[in-house]
Amino acid sequence: MAGGLTVARLADVIERRTQARLAARIIGDGARTIEGAAPIESAQSNQLAFLANRRYRTAAAATHAGAIVLSPGDRQQIFSEPPAGVTLIECAAPYAWFAFAAQELAPAPLPRAGIDAAASVDAAARIDPAAHVGPHATIEADAQVGARAQIGAGSFVGRGAQIGADARIMPGVHVHAQCVVGARCIVHSGAVIGADGFGFAPFEGAWVKIPQTGRVVIGDDVEIGANTTIDRGAMGDTVIEDGCKLDNQVQVAHNCRIGAHTVIAGCVGIAGSASIGRGCQLGGAAMIAGHLSIADGCVIGGGTLVARSITTPGHYSGVFPLMPHRDWERNAALVRHLDELRDRIRALERQLDKKGSS
Amino acid sequence: MAGGLTVARLADVIERRTQARLAARIIGDGARTIEGAAPIESAQSNQLAFLANRRYRTAAAATHAGAIVLSPGDRQQIFSEPPAGVTLIECAAPYAWFAFAAQELAPAPLPRAGIDAAASVDAAARIDPAAHVGPHATIEADAQVGARAQIGAGSFVGRGAQIGADARIMPGVHVHAQCVVGARCIVHSGAVIGADGFGFAPFEGAWVKIPQTGRVVIGDDVEIGANTTIDRGAMGDTVIEDGCKLDNQVQVAHNCRIGAHTVIAGCVGIAGSASIGRGCQLGGAAMIAGHLSIADGCVIGGGTLVARSITTPGHYSGVFPLMPHRDWERNAALVRHLDELRDRIRALERQLDKKGSS
Amino acid sequence: MAGGLTVARLADVIERRTQARLAARIIGDGARTIEGAAPIESAQSNQLAFLANRRYRTAAAATHAGAIVLSPGDRQQIFSEPPAGVTLIECAAPYAWFAFAAQELAPAPLPRAGIDAAASVDAAARIDPAAHVGPHATIEADAQVGARAQIGAGSFVGRGAQIGADARIMPGVHVHAQCVVGARCIVHSGAVIGADGFGFAPFEGAWVKIPQTGRVVIGDDVEIGANTTIDRGAMGDTVIEDGCKLDNQVQVAHNCRIGAHTVIAGCVGIAGSASIGRGCQLGGAAMIAGHLSIADGCVIGGGTLVARSITTPGHYSGVFPLMPHRDWERNAALVRHLDELRDRIRALERQLDKKGSS
């Protein structure tokens, strides 16, 4: 960060990075130096804030931030004239602009190239000279690690696995044999890529293991959260397409396919051979049953169990509502007897019908 | 695999492994060489497929597999005469036969015997000479590792813990002090066996830790999924009986007992001192409350919370159904007021009764 | 343990540890030596048991324990006169007394001071001479490890992170850069403290990462379960206050705040920026949505999803009840149509009203 960047410089860099698809209009002092990002309520004069939700308009009007990025509409509404001491950055996608700016202000450190003396790297592994392998990491034969990729302390890259360029494998990640992690992916500590899928055939009251010979294939720009598990395919592959973001403690079973740019919140479980569309959003702790498919662009509410395919994009939910425990006891008991309630309504309807016609 | 195995040889091996309890009748070319397993739709002439679900009968009729294993009934239905180029394998349990065959075609590699130079093994640990200990693994005093067992890179085996013969402890597994893992078990990366159970006594608004002095005792032929946690007992042991299969991200709390050959899908949580019967199947993300018992042979639906003991074998469920979000908002609100709906039905019944009798 | 402790000595030690807030009255032989703790049904003459639930009164009357701690009321009820061979310990908080005693009888071993030769410790890390760092652990520059703290085998302490005095970081824990773990904390294997929070801004159908520059700050006397994840804050910090106890596989997202002495059972998920009060109890697999707050002293039932703030202390639940699968199919289908049932009730009411007035 070293002294930060001026607002004008940030705007230039972002315009270039997005090939001019995200341009900003600066109102006020473009030469102001910004050193970091902060929430709108607590930002100081050397920090950048953003406004992306009208609930924070009052806070925006009173902010002490050095600069604030916001939409043209919000700008007009809040700042009829430019405020003293705050540089306004007007832009069509203020939250995205803020994200790009925050990246410029806090760039992930480039790895020290080279293999730590305490790592175990097989002679037949191919490690790019510009990659970094941390202490106590293990890299098996025929594995490949791309340019500028980082393999964190204590991580494991199995036989024949491939880690793409600029990928960041954090400490304590396991990528098993033959699995593929794309370029610029970030995989957080404790994630397990390519453990065996859960496949067994019943035989005489016991279970016979079906060898899991497929792979996990993860596209580019995917982020995998801490302690998330993605199982290798039974015969074909488990596939996570480009740009997906998976939060912590997500479970993806064998032979699933997750469409590009889908985001999956924490604690979600996806059973075997489920196919999730592109651009979906799965809320925290949603559970997806196996062998079904969900259309592109679906939003699944947190805690919802999806037990059948969804073919129409939309927002779906299914969660028992919260109540005081005593109310719950009474109402949950009635849920068990909804069929009786329905029958009593039917009986009443028939009685009244008869009376009506008599 | 080295060139594969003929169908006849596979049938022989499986008959021997099962002590003749799984015999097959070969129809067609028993000398055909099979090199791997594949799904029925994509299998090639050097691959084995299976048919175990009548939905795939059409696919079976058109398969390009070199061999297909199926039941006598399916064989008669689909192939009135032997098809050209496909060897038929008729057998009473085709899915199990397929699983055994797939194991023969893709055998788990025998470990390189010996202790990696980068492992830390206490002088007082007893490692069988035919076992393998990977790099960066730590094995504490008095731990035992059986014949041909594998301790993966970076794994931890605590003081006095026992790992059975032919067990495969994958990289990054933690087995804590005094815990026991049986013969032929497979424990996947990130699993934690024998962390402290969750036991605290309240005292003046804070919590006093109760030392967890029991063990985890895991029988033979158990598989434990990636990032699954099984806590040690508070005073007695937590017990997983022979042949159980636990998927990823399962949580088993202290002093639970899981009966033999029970299968537990991903993301299931089992609270303290619960006792699950033999041969049960717990669906993904099912949650079992503490201090209860579930009878042998129960099937619990995915996402179902079990809050009381189940004494009768059967299939149990309890999940809020999925709906479009707007429908859910309306219906979930009504769930909160089922008692009022019931009261209104009652009032109607009384009114009609009065009218009836008047 | 070395021969155990007498009942009288245990009482003295506990009275001193609690500064006389937990005194006991010994009835019978205070010189009896106790070597361990055990459940009331199986305890032997050298073991201590407790009675804290009236359901176990019969078991208490027949116990073979050497000593039993119980409330004055239970003592009077069960033992009109002191039983032979059992020392009674009467005390206002028997379960807490038992917990303290069990700690004295099974003290956590003090770590061997010093850094294992197979650990990787940066020259700029500050490790207290009385701390222990296990094999294959990695400690980065500027990290601090306090007096008598233990860093388990294969654990990771990132740049600038702080581990408090007497903390026990078990094998395979990851504490990322700048995060703070307080004194006497216990962090179990597989826990990940300070992975990136899940923050992305949408831009043209893809997601732009928002750097997560906050920390995780954990107070004193906190216990964190195996494979639990606590994400670092996006800009501010994620905070776990003193004395909290988190079970296994809990997920705490960025910028959450958990009030002091709150206990969180296994598999709970807490979404971003949620604020949980002090002294709350969250049941297993409860799910808390983001950007809400829960009042001090709330109890949330297992499996319950909290989607709105709770301002009144109390016990809240929301779980679909368990039923035989066939009943569930029928009743769950009706839940989808509660609005229709309500409309039919309304129609009946109107009809009857009309009839009544006609």
Which chain A residues are Cβ-neighbours of B321 within 8 angstroms? Answer: 318
pLDDT over 70, % of chain A? 99
- Of these residues, A132, A176, A254, A261, which one is catalytic? A254
**Are the C-beta atoms of A20 and A80 separated by less than 8 Å?**
no
**A142 and A71: one domain?**
no
If asked whether residues B176 and B203 sit together in one domain, one would say yes
Domain ends where: A56, A73, A105? A105
Residues A254, A260, A265: CA angle, nearest 5 degrees? 70
Q: Where does residue C71 rank: exposed (0-12), middle (13-18), buried (19+ CB within 10 A)?
A: middle
Question: Does residue B322 form part of some domain?
Answer: no
CATH number reported for the structural domain that contains residue B180 in this entry: 2.160.10.10
pLDDT at A3: 73
Within-domain flag for B288 = yes
- Predicted confidence at residue B358, as pLDDT, reads 55
Nearest-CA distance B126 → chain C (Å): 19
Can you give the C-alpha Rg of chain A in angstroms? 27
Marked catalytic residue, from B132, B174, B188, B254: B254
What is the rounded distance in angstroms from the CA atom of residue C124 to the CA atom of residue C147? 17
Q: How far apart are CA C111 and CA C129, in angstroms?
A: 11
**Which tokens go with C340?**
């229709």
- Domain identity same for C347 and C300: no
Chains within contact range of chain C (3+ C-beta pairs < 8 Å): A, B
C341, closest residue in chain B (CA to CA): B341
The whole-number pLDDT of residue C356 equals: 67
As a residue count, chain B comes to: 358
Residues of C assigned a catalytic role:
254
Which chain C residues touch A319 with a CB distance below 8 Å?
305, 307, 318
For chain C, what is the largest distance between any 2 Cα atoms, rounded to a whole number of angstroms? 96
**B196, B319, B331 member nearest C338 (Cβ):** B331
- Residue C193: CB atoms within 10 A of its CB come to 33
Residue given tokens 């695999």 in the structure block: B1
Nearest CA among B259, B211, B251, B213 for reference residue B233: B213
Residue B36 is inside which H or E element, if any?
A: strand B36-37
CA distances, B149 to each of A343, B48, B187 (Å): 61, 30, 11
Residue with tokens 């480009």: A242
User: Which chain A residues are Cβ-neighbours of B285 within 8 angstroms?
Assistant: 269, 285, 287, 305
* Contacts with A308 (C-beta within 8 Å, 6 or more apart), sequence order: A289, A292, B322
- Domain ends where: C82, C105, C128? C105
Using alpha carbons only, how large is chain B's radius of gyration in Å? 27
Tally the residues of chain A.
358
Q: How many domains does chain C have?
A: 3
Residue A343 domain boundaries: 325-357
C chain contacts of residue A225, beta-carbon cutoff 8 Å:
195, 198, 229
* pLDDT tens, residue by residue, A23-47: 999 999 999 999 999 999 999 999 9
**B353 and B205 inside one domain:** no
| pLDDT at residue number B356 | 67
Minimal CA–CA distance to C230: which of C176, C280, C297, C301?
C176
Task: Answer for the pair A145, A125: CB distance below 8 angstroms, yes or no.
Answer: yes
Question: How far apart are alpha carbons C305 and A319 in whole angstroms?
Answer: 7
Answer yes or no: do C209 and A190 touch at CB < 8 A.
no
Residue A356 pLDDT > 90: no
* Nearest-CA distance B70 → chain C (Å): 30
* Assigned domain for C321 exists: no
Tell me: do A131 and A241 sit in the same domain.
yes
Find the distance separating the first CA and the last CA of chain C, reported in whole Å. Answer: 87
What pLDDT score was predicted for residue B1? 42
Is B211 within 8 Å of C154 when comparing Cβ atoms?
no
Q: Does B302 sit within 8 Å of A316, measured CB to CB?
A: no
Residues with Cβ within 8 Å of residue A263, at least 6 apart in sequence:
A244, A245, A246, A247, A280, A281, A282, C200, C207
C332 and B321 in contact by Cβ < 8 A? yes
Do B195 and B300 sit in the same domain of this protein?
yes
A16 and A93 assigned to the same domain = yes
Could you say which of B136, B287, B341 has the minimum Cβ distance to residue C285?
Answer: B287
Q: Which residues contact C73 (CB under 8 A, 6 or more apart)?
A: none
How far apart are the CA of A53 and the nearest CA of chain B, in angstroms?
22
Answer with the one of B105, B128, B159 that is the final residue of a domain: B105
C-alpha C172/C-alpha C204 separation (Å) is 39
Q: Are residues A79 and A221 in the same domain?
A: no
Question: Are both C301 and C334 inside the same structural domain?
Answer: no
Q: Which of C44, C261, C322 to mutate to test the interface with B (most CBs of B within 10 A)?
A: C322
For residue A82, name the pLDDT band (cuts at 50, 70, 90).
Answer: confident
CATH number at residue C14: 3.40.1390.10
Q: Which residues of A131-146 are buried (b: 16+ CB within 10 A; e: fewer)?
A: bbbbbbbbbbebbbbb
Residue C127 buriedness (CB in 10 A; 0-12 / 13-18 / 19+) = buried
- List of chains touching B (3+ CB pairs within 8 A): A, C
Q: What is the ipTM of this complex?
A: 0.96
The tokens for C108 are: 């956590």
Quote the CA–CA distance of C162 and C143 in Å, as a whole number.
6
DSSP B235: S
The verdict on a CB contact (< 8 Å) between A103 and C211 is yes
A136 is catalytic: no
Read off the DSSP letter of residue B6.
E
- Residues facing C288 on adjacent strands: C270, C306
Tell me the shortest Cα–Cα distance from B157 to chain A, in angstroms.
16
Same domain, C11 and C156: no
pLDDT of residue B81: 85
**CA separation for the pair B21, B135 (Å, rounded):** 41
**Does the residue C100 lie in any domain?**
yes
Q: What is the block-wise mean pLDDT of chain B (358 residues), using blocks of 10 residues?
A: 85 97 96 96 96 92 96 94 92 97 91 94 98 98 98 98 98 98 98 98 97 98 98 97 98 98 98 98 98 98 98 98 96 95 93 76
Backbone dihedral angles phi then psi of residue B10, each to the nearest 5 degrees: -55, -45
**Whether residue B147 is found in the same domain as residue B82:** no
Write out chain C's pLDDT in tens, 358 residues: 457 999 999 999 999 999 999 999 999 999 999 999 999 999 999 999 999 998 999 999 999 999 999 999 999 999 988 888 999 999 999 999 999 999 999 998 887 899 999 999 999 999 999 999 999 999 999 999 999 999 999 999 999 999 999 999 999 999 999 999 999 999 999 999 999 999 999 999 999 999 999 999 999 999 999 999 999 999 999 999 999 999 999 999 999 999 999 999 999 999 999 999 999 999 999 999 999 999 999 999 999 999 999 999 999 999 999 999 999 999 999 999 999 999 999 999 999 888 766 5
Using CA atoms, how far apart are residues B87 and C328, in angstroms rounded to an integer? 44
- Tens-place pLDDT, residues B283-304: 999 999 999 999 999 999 999 9
Binary contact (C99, B208; C-beta < 8 A): yes
- The token pair at C311 is 């301002």
pLDDT in tens, B181-209: 999 999 999 999 999 999 999 999 999 99
- Count CB atoms within 10 A of the CB of residue C143: 26
pLDDT of residue C354: 82
Q: Residue B26 in contact with residue B87, Cβ under 8 Å?
A: yes
State how far residue C301 is from chain B, nearest Cα, in angstroms: 11
Which of these, A104, A192, A185, lies nearest to A146 by C-alpha position?
Answer: A185
Q: What does the CA dihedral A12, A18, A22, A26 come to, rounded to 10 degrees?
A: -10
Specify whether C34 is located in the same domain as C123: no
